[in-house]
A and B are shown apart, each in its own frame.
Chain A
Amino acid sequence: MRHILGVDIGGTFTDFALIDDAGEINLWKEATTPADPGIAIRDGLAALAETRGLEIRQLIESLDLFVHGQTIATNTVIQRNGPKTGLLCTEGFRDVLYFRDGFKPDRYNVSLPREKDFIRRDLRLPVTERIDYRGDVLQKLDEKSVREAVKVFKKHGVESVAVALLWSIVNPSHEQKVKKIVAKQLPGVPVVLSSDVLPMIREWERTSSTVLSAYILPGISEYTINLEKYLAANGFGHNLLVMQLNGGTATLAQLLKRPIYALASGPAAGPSAGLYCAERMKVNNVITIDMGGTSFDVCMVTDGHPALTQDMRIHDNPVGVSAIEVHSIGAGGGSIAWIDKGGALQVGPQSAGAEPGPACYELGGDQPTVTDVNVVLGYINPDYFLGGRRAINAEASARAIDKVIAKPLGLTTEQAADGIFRIVNTNMVNAIRVVSVEKGIDPRGYNLVVGGGAGPIHAGSLGRELGMAQAIIPRFGGVFCSYGMIVSDVRLDLVRAFASNTAALDLARINKIFSELEGEAIAELKSQGFPRSRIEIRRFADAKYSNQIHELTIPLPSRGKIKKSDIGDIAEEFHGLHERMFSYCVRESEVDLFHWRITALGKLPDTEARVFKRTRKPVSEAQKGTRPVYSSEAGKFKKTKIYDGDLLQHGMTVVGPAVIEQENMTVVVLGKQTLKINRYGDFVLAIN
């Protein structure tokens, strides 16, 4: 039996999705181990092996694919707890990061605070050198200036170094020389070059991307390298694949060269997971939501295409590369409820995380969290949290809510808990509105696809507030993104610059560029075990009218050589796109082409989805019993039916109010809502 495995390290839990070649799925959750994230991965592997009746080594040997994503890099930049980072830049340009593009986001907010730069000004140091726009050296690199700067880094204990020099995109020799000098003087300190990370014109975007890369690299390199070694030592025959922010996967070696792609890599798998279940129901307009322990992630998928952004920013710093557009807020099971200075009840964005965790864990956490609320309101069964693996104490939850919220506000425990529940829901509704309503898109035309252990508790309330009709809750919803990873293709984006024009397209040169880029990509993917038949190449170019300044990316013919007879089609591709996007085009004008790009996809074999037969059994056979569950509308506890999710089968209908318990997630069906199980075993909630 062969297997594929996805592992997603979140802020609170590390999720596992294991599928065998018969389509049988095993899901698993471990508490994330922040000090060494590899521990949770190894523990999870052990648990999965046991479930399958295998030794760990046997399981690892049976893996055809191991995909890994994480939110460690994102948390590092959001919480700004990364290493002390230094920047080397061209003399006279220490403030590229500070100046940005000169733009202030809100014209009318004169007190808008400015996010601090990721590198303090006294650690942004000049090196004496200058290259011009042709790549000619105007001033040779003064190696002494590099050594002087590195001395300062040493004194301040700099742990990671970014190098971003002007015009390194046309002549990277100075950056490369700087790297050698730094490596010699600061052994063990990683050095990231802008010409490696984002070899594109515009110094601010490139510098920012390089600085973010240097800032996140140490946090992800150590444990992933160890993980790869561990897997290799235990018989894993392939490369460890890592999820990237563009929604595809890559090898670890590629990622460590361009660490920027590791940002938000976990959540970037959400749309793949959502689409996987929605498309088989012939639904392709969805909003995927994923509520874990720490954060709530939202992504719009329109006509089967996840929203992509070229303009992703972290605290106003551009990421520079194309990314799946995921909107995240601090709302999860671990989000802490608190009372602000004005006496108003707030929830999050602070999270109790995995340690100390919610009050009910009794691991030292005494702040009430959303999980505590869900326990007190009867949504979560204290005896069946993580399938009973985690003992939780409902009384500890009630105590924390009482002490911190209910007493100070003069409320009952239930009223306080219900208030917290409604506030965290409002925060999540607002996050969904940001990606839909605020872009002029009405969410009522979309389905919700719900993931995360806590997501399905809240989905019915969120959908109701937004007026949405239907929510799809995949059976693997509890480990949403780890599942998305194993249905995401391996993706390699390569780019090369060469100026040409449709009036005199240098076909020989362009075909040579593509043949080199494709050769590189195919060799890489073949080395990962993809036969040529499963490698898909897509070609693109950045095009503009001759005197325009910005470019549009257009697809090019992707099979065989580009021929003279294709040129008309290429120009028309640009005119057409220009017209669709901007309402006009200039067909009589020639078209400049500059960056030549390929996207190489290593296509995964289609994961076999199991189809279930309709059952004739009544839904009562899946009922475990009843318990009092709080009804927000009634303002009191009501006797409510509890179902065992594992016993619910295709053909059954659950009528709310009801709670469905599964090992890795809990689903709440509100009054007047009904939930059906479709032929793939997924839950489909009619919201009302």
Chain B
Amino acid sequence: MARTSRLRHEGKRTVKSKAKSKARPKSKAALDPITFSVILNRFNTIANEMTLTMEKTAWTSVIALARDFSCAIYDAKARQICMMDALPIHTNSLHVVLQEIARVFGDDIHDGDVIACNHAYSGNTHIGDFVTACPVFHKGKHMFWTVTKGHQLDVGAFVPSSVPAPAENIWQEGLQLPPIKFYDKGKRCDDVIRMYIANMRWQEWLNGDLMAQLGSIWNGRRRLVEFAEEYGNDEIERYSEGILDYADKRMSEEIRAMPDGDYDGVSWLDSNGKGGTNIQIGARVSIRGDKVHIDFSNSAPQVPSANNSSYGVMQAAAGIPILCSIDPTIPHNDGCLRHITADAPVGSVCNAAYPASTALATVGPGDTMQEAVWKALAHAVPERVLGGNGKDGNLPMLSGTDSRSGVDIEWGCLFFNGGPAGGATSKADGWPLIMTSAGMGGLKILSVELCELLYPMRIDRQEIAADSMGHGKYHGGPGVDVKMTPTSGAMLCELFGEGQSNPPFGAMNGTPGIGGGSYRENIRSGKRIYYSSKGRMVIEDGEFWAGISSGGGGYGDPLQRDPEAVLESLIGGFLSLKSTREVYGVVVDAKTMALNIEKTKALRKKLRAARKSKAITTPNVPGYATWVKKSLRSGDEYLIDAQ
């Protein structure tokens, strides 16, 4: 891939299309810089208050602890003004679903409305993401939308999971909600809400999360109305426009600093969800002047399971790596987003055609599309990219019956604690527990103690896994070695992960992460059954579930890593003595743990001489991971897409 992309790049290099962006008419009065900052930050504060409302009042751990939701503020034209601490896959596509909501209801949008939607074919990300949008009026004028998207614990699918990997179409995914009013001019649509809740598992919990989500958008509305009262509609609109222009201008400068050209990257999904492996996703990133276009034409047709992308996810997945390659202090709003466009053929795995299921869109397909874009960017702006993030793996949906109190209580939990890590960059090692590029570190793990209090499980181990990360001048974050035992009868475990046979890539001579995997083990016999990244298992009484998640991809040549830093990783147990020597060329006395500088120099020289050509990204072939193969013992089984 590297070769073709460079050729294409050079071929286009002469094309200079640095079109000047249209000069915007200057507003009559200049913006006062202090007022500008106050208003910009007030939006942030309001979005933050929406976020806290959702987090602090929700009833399920996926919202209240793991924070799998996003809150954002849009103007009346459905342009993003502000988001805080939110998940990139949500906030970079919320405008798509909001525009559809606005289109569907047209002039039937009123003060007091709440419009819900979870329908991927209405611009939503995937069915698990439930959108509530509240138009904000002041002095009779529609000024804003407050929007919250929360990942629901359940969607009424044919299996107890809101990310049902085996779903073959939207009817198996669960209850589809195209834009629909939950409140109409302030009046609660009880019939609609009853119908919604009636289709869900864990109804009491889901109802609690619905209240939290409504509270979040209402709190945003309340604060925005106060804000408009304080500054007046005109002033707020003038400054809002200024905030978008400000981001637009800075984004423009950033993209112009990237070399014009076409760049390609390819990645693979582990499977089609039905046993077929290595599904290609190809991205071409075209940079022209201050615009970027991403084209996913070089991708496989849609698959017969839920492992397809929706239109909304495709838009977000294309843009996130671009936004991560620019100055992070630029406010992330419509001013940035308007510089990025994306496309993929309808009916491809990146843009599935109705009625295909897209229930996994945000994670497997979204993560893999982002990876393909990153790999393409490595040819354009190598100093700005990262080694691959671990794709969402070892994050099972668990459920069962909790009889600990003497009363049977049905429970379900999205378990994030064994999540994979982030990739390294040209400046820093990767972070652990990035979980998925959809969240980019915005998802949290669950406190072990809270987990054991809330659910019938015991966590026996939760530590870093040595050598699980990609190596490099900077190494990826480490994966997690997790072991968990059910404590009240059997537990159902739905795996909907990704990236275990196609691990996170290494960049600029960095190496890939391990991919990782998970298994259940019979405590008495010791027999293990390994599962591919997707699959359904029952962890019976007398069994436990364990796994090692992938570390992130490395960046740069491991032989350039500071030997002292290598030693520190060795002493800390991040690296084994073997990889210290063989990958990093660092010689340490196993007994005294003393660094031998002379021998290190000599070994590094030898390794460097034996080194093959430079690799911009590794791997560029599918099915690269070997963790499962290495881990399988005689008598163990390995199941692909088990159902």
- Listed in ascending order, the chain A residues whose CB lies under 8 Å from chain B are 92-95, 98-99, 101-114, 120-122, 132-133, 138, 166-167, 169, 201-204, 433, 437-440, 442, 466-467, 545, 547-550, 552, 578, 581-584, 586
Contact = CB atoms under 8 A, between A and B. Distances in A.
Contact of B445 (A99, A108, A114, A548): A99
Contacts of A547: 59, 204-205, 208
A166 B449 contact: yes
A460 B417 CA distance: 52
Interface stretch (B94-102, B215-223, B290-298): B215-223
Interface of B: 34, 37-38, 41-42, 44-46, 53, 55-61, 64-65, 67, 85-88, 204-205, 208, 211-212, 214-216, 218-219, 222, 323-324, 326, 328, 332, 386, 416-417, 419, 422-423, 425-429, 431-435, 439-445, 447-450, 452-454, 458-464, 480, 483, 571-574
Contacts of B453: 133, 201
Contacts of A467: 34
Contacts of A102: 416-417, 419, 432-433, 435, 441, 443-445
- The 3 lowest CB-CB distance pairs between A and B, nearest first, are A104-B441, A440-B45, A440-B42
24 contacts: A92-B462, A93-B448, A99-B445, A102-B417, A102-B443, A102-B445, A104-B422, A106-B328, A107-B87, A107-B440, A108-B324, A108-B328, A109-B328, A110-B422, A121-B574, A166-B448, A202-B449, A203-B447, A437-B34, A545-B208, A581-B53, A582-B53, A582-B56, A582-B215
Among A121, A438, A440, find the residue whose CB has the most chain B CB atoms closer than 10 A.
A440
A108 B449 contact: no
B211 A584 contact: yes
Contacts of A99: 432-433, 445, 462, 480
Given A109-B328, A550-B57, A103 B442 contact: yes
B37 A108 contact: no
Contact of A108 (B64, B67, B323): B323
The residue in B55, B64, B572 that gathers the most chain A C-beta atoms within 10 A of its C-beta is B572
A107 B215 contact: no
Contacts of A167: 449, 452
B441 A548 contact: no
B386 A110 contact: yes
B515 to A, nearest CB: 20
B381 to A, nearest CB: 12
A108 B429 CA distance: 15
B323 A113 contact: no
B597 to A, nearest CB: 21
A546 to B, nearest CB: 9
A270 B441 CA distance: 36
Nearest to B325: A110
A548 B452 contact: no
Contacts of B459: 92
B151 to A, nearest CB: 15
B447 A98 contact: no
Given A442-B38, A547-B204, 11 more contacts: A93-B448, A102-B441, A108-B440, A112-B328, A121-B571, A201-B453, A440-B45, A466-B34, A548-B58, A549-B59, A578-B57
Contacts of B67: 103
Nearest to B217: A583
Contacts of A439: 41, 45
A550 B65 CA distance: 9
B572 A122 contact: yes
A547 B454 CA distance: 10
A547 B572 CA distance: 40
A111 B427 contact: yes
Contact of A95 (B45, B211, B442, B462): B462
Nearest to B332: A108
Contact of B449 (A105, A203, A442, A466): A203
Highest count of chain B CB atoms <10 Å: which of A111, A202, A467, A549: A549
B37 to A, nearest CB: 5
Contacts of B445: 99, 101-102
Contacts of B462: 92-93, 95, 99
A282 B330 CA distance: 41
